[in-house]
Every structure is written in C-alpha cells, then in structure tokens.
Amino acid sequence: MLRVLLFVATNFAIVTVLWVVLSLLGLSAQTGPGLVIMALVFGFGGSIISLFLSKWMAKRSMGVQIIEQPQTPFEQWLFEVVRRQSEQRGIRMPEVGIFDQPDPNAFATGWNRNDALVAVSTGLLQHMNRDEVEAVVGHEISHVANGDMVTLTLIQGVLNTFVIILARVIGGIVDSALRGNNDSGGVGIGYFVVSILAEIVLGFLASIIVMWFSRFREFRADAGGARLAGRENMIAALRALQRVHEPQDLPASEFAAFGISGGIGDGLKKLFASHPPLEERIAALQNARG
C-alpha cells in the first residue's frame, strides 16, 4: 500500500515529536482536562501537518516529475485530460506528474481540492490504452473532488485523539495497580511504558478503521471515474490491473489510499488493505444504475 501507510507513518512521527517536545517543556498531562486538550492538539495536529506535507512528500518519496510545459504529444494529451476532467468536477486543475514505477498505478494527493497533485506511473502508461488511462485519471480526479484527503485527515485526527486518551488511561490504571499501597501520588515508570505500548497497539487497531474508509472511498472514486470517462472504460482499466496479477503497492502509505490499486489480502490481511478486491470493484460498476 502506498498512500495511507505514508500518511499514517508521517502522522505517527509528528505526534511522537510533539509529545516529546511538550514533555520536555513540562506541558504534558496525564489526566483530566489537560489530557483531553493534549490529545486534541496531538491528535489533530499530527494529521493536519501530515495533510499539508502530503504533496511535498509525494513528489520527493515517489520521484514525481511534474509536467509544467508538456514536451510530447502524450504529455499534452494527459495534461488536457486532467484539465478537462477537473473543469467538469468544478475544481482547480491539479498539478500533473509521472513517476517511474513498472507496475500500473496512479494517485492523487494535496491539502485541498484546489491545490492537488495527480500522478501516474510509467507502468500505467505501458499497460493501458488511452481510454483506460483516462478512466484512471477520472478516478483520481474524483478522489480530489470528493475531498477524500481532508476527510481522511479528520478521521485520523479523531482516532489519534481517542488513542492518546485511552492509552494514558490504561497506563494510569496499570501503573496504579503495580504500585498498589505504595501509591504516593504522581505516576511511575510503569505509566510511561504501558502508555507507549498501549498507544502502539491501539494505533494499529485504529488503522483498521482508516483502511475501511479507504476501501469505501474507492467505490465512490470508481463511480466518479466512470462518469468522467465512461463506465466501460473504467471497468476496462480495472480489468487491465487484473491482467498484471494485482500490481505491487505504491511504496508509501500516504498515497496508497487514493491510488488506483493497493494492497489486497485474505482473512485478517484484508482488514488492512487500502483497496477492495478488483473483482468487487468491477462488480459494483457493472451493477450500478445508469
């Protein structure tokens, strides 16, 4: 998976840095209103900063080459497709880029729908015809127009807040139980150790909700791509992905959630997949009205 994992990883790193900084300044809190305020600051602060860094991270981690002035007929065509589709959806035209990856993939990112990036892989251009590429671009434009990155940020912020609060509540309960009658107020080392462990475990479980959201939004983006480029073209693009036997995930989770393909697993692994199985997506398009 590419996009969600990088987003979650960046978010976790930022929250950790904020927690360390506030602790060094003596501003951290263990209970009461102070804990709630700290959790809100950390929870939403980490996800919001990750959102604002998303496009910058994408360009550098994926090596995206931005098409500023199209140099070839194909670049001119791709540029025009993005311009036309973004105009149809009523958003400002995103930056257009290409990244070097042999597997067919694409993603969209950006802090808002009028300041976004749509990028396609070299593998996508090699494995799909223009009608299919146009459908993939429509899928990504739909992610942007639907505001999926902002919604993901809000969900991640809420989850971060609950994880931080619950982890410290659990840490306090365990620490108090370990000290028993020797409890003289304050907190012991057990609080910090258990809080950190609980935050890791709860964060892992919270990622299941993030991935569920990602899978749900894929169906909406597929429908959007079908409206912009035609249902049959969108289905053909998904079938092209099937022909290459489930391509590798994008290398960073920040972008996997809004890529055209992503991690697919069986059993418990499916809970952490950023995308539904391709056959389910194709079936949803075939069964859609209109």
Cα(144)–Cα(77) distance, rounded to whole angstroms? Answer: 20
More confident residue, 22 or 94: 94
User: From CA 14, how far away is CA 144, in angstroms rounded?
Assistant: 24
- Give the pLDDT confidence of 123-139 residue by residue, as tens digits: 999 999 999 999 999 99
* DSSP one-letter string for 30-68: SSHHHHHHHHHHHHHHHHHHHHHHHHHHHHHHHT-EE-S
Q: φ and ψ at 11, to 5 degrees?
A: -60, -45
Q: Which residue has the higher pLDDT, 69 or 43?
A: 69
The structure tokens 């009523």 sit at 90
In angstroms, rounded to a whole number, what is the distance separating the alpha carbons of residues 240 and 49? 36
pLDDT per position as a tens digit, 146-202: 999 888 888 988 888 888 888 888 988 888 888 776 655 566 788 888 888 998 899
Tell me which residues are annotated as active site. Answer: 140
Q: What was the pLDDT predicted at 264? A: 47
User: What does the alpha-carbon distance between residue 117 and residue 259 come to, in Å, rounded to a whole number?
Assistant: 12
**Residues near 36 by beta carbon (within 8 Å), at least 6 away in sequence:** 165
Residue 254 has pLDDT above 50, yes or no: no
- Residue bearing tokens 């065509």: 77
Residue 270 per-residue DSSP state: G
Distance of CA 238 to the CA centre of its chain: 20
Indicate if the pLDDT at residue 9 is higher than 70: no
Question: Sheet of 106-112: strands edge to edge?
Answer: 65-66, 95-99, 115-121, 106-112
Give the chain's end-to-end CA distance (angstroms, integer). Answer: 32
Contact 76, 182 (CB under 8 A): no
Distance CA 86, CA 89 (A): 5
Please tell me which residue, 130 or 276, carries the higher pLDDT value: 130
Report the domain count for the chain: 1
Residue type, 177: A
Whole domain around residue 224: which residue ranges? 1-290
Tell me the C-alpha distance between 126 and 128, whole Å: 6
Return the residue matching tokens 């299941």.
208
Instruction: Count Cα atoms within 13 angstroms, Cβ side, for 71.
Output: 6
Per cent of the chain over pLDDT 70 is 77
